[in-house]
Amino acid sequence: RARCGAAGTARRAEAVPLEAKRYPILSRRAPLGKFPKLPDTVHPGVVTGKAYSDLLQWAKENSFAIPAVNCVSSSGINACLEAARKMDAPIIIQFSSGGSQFYAGKGLDNKNFHAAVAGAVSGAYHVRALAEQYGIPVILHTDHCAKGLLPWFDGLLDANERYFERYNEPLFSSHMLDLSEEPIGENIEICVKYLERMAKIDCALEMELGITGGEEDGVNNEDVNPEDLYSKPEEIWQVYEAL
């Protein structure tokens, strides 16, 4: 996943009059505006499905990375959107389980990850309401989800499916499953199950191979062997064959 960006990659969206900009949550019509240097499928606002795939492939072909920022507040999201507009570049806005709970506020009970689901969905709607207004393409993503956080993941997929029924696209562009703490066979088996469900709504899946370094959402790998931090070719082949 990309962690650093390049300026000037989006090449300014063609101007869309203010009165012509839609509010995605309230409108079914397709977004207006396109980018002269980006694939025709990519438009201002949240990209999903083929537009999402085309944007990643375009970034790969042009040898640049798209920054991914974990957000925990609406003001943080707004700062990301403003920065992307100033740099004339796409951006990934994402939420972790803990960040999603924080977004919802300390007053909500997080039993069965209720607050974490509500916070992530709230953040997603905030991004969708504003991304198109800022005139930049946004990938809407959730970060590392370990096995113990799967009820949070399930709640997000429920929200995606409800959104898809109304708007014919998922609420989020993609989600990440991080089952690197589990045996590789179990990791792949669970990812296959979720991918089958997500493919029906054009939502992309990111999975983790190897071991994530450092500490995140209660998973601590600060003392692991350095060679275990990297994906292994034989594991990648297993994933390719299964997915």
Short-list 90, 93, 128, CA closest to 11:
90
Q: How far apart are CA 88 and CA 82, in angstroms?
A: 10
Question: 143 an active-site residue?
Answer: yes
> pTM score > 0.75 for this model?
yes
Contact 96, 143 (CB under 8 A): yes
Determine which of 111-115, 123-127, 181-185, 186-190 has the lowest per-residue pLDDT on average.
181-185
In the predicted structure, residue 66 carries a pLDDT above the cut 60: yes
In the predicted structure, residue 10 carries a pLDDT above the cut 80: no
Residue 137: pLDDT band by 50, 70, 90 thresholds?
very high
Catalytic residue among 88, 143, 178, 202: 143
Distance of CA 172 to the CA centre of its chain: 6
Crossing angle of helices 97-104 and 114-134, rounded to 10°: 80
Q: How far apart are CA 196 and CA 213, in angstroms?
A: 29
What is the pLDDT at residue 49? Answer: 97
Q: Bigger pLDDT: 70 or 232?
A: 70
List beta partners, residue 141.
Answer: 94, 174
Residue for token digits 């990648």? 236
In the predicted structure, residue 12 carries a pLDDT above the cut 80: no
Q: Would you call 120 helix, strand, or coil by DSSP? A: helix
> Which residue type sits at 91?
I
The predicted-structure confidence for 19-64, as pLDDT tens digits, reads as follows 666 666 666 667 767 788 899 999 999 999 999 999 999 999 999 8
The predicted-structure confidence for 77-112, as pLDDT tens digits, reads as follows 999 999 999 999 999 999 999 999 999 999 999 999
Residue 9: pLDDT band by 50, 70, 90 thresholds?
low
Residue count of the chain: 243
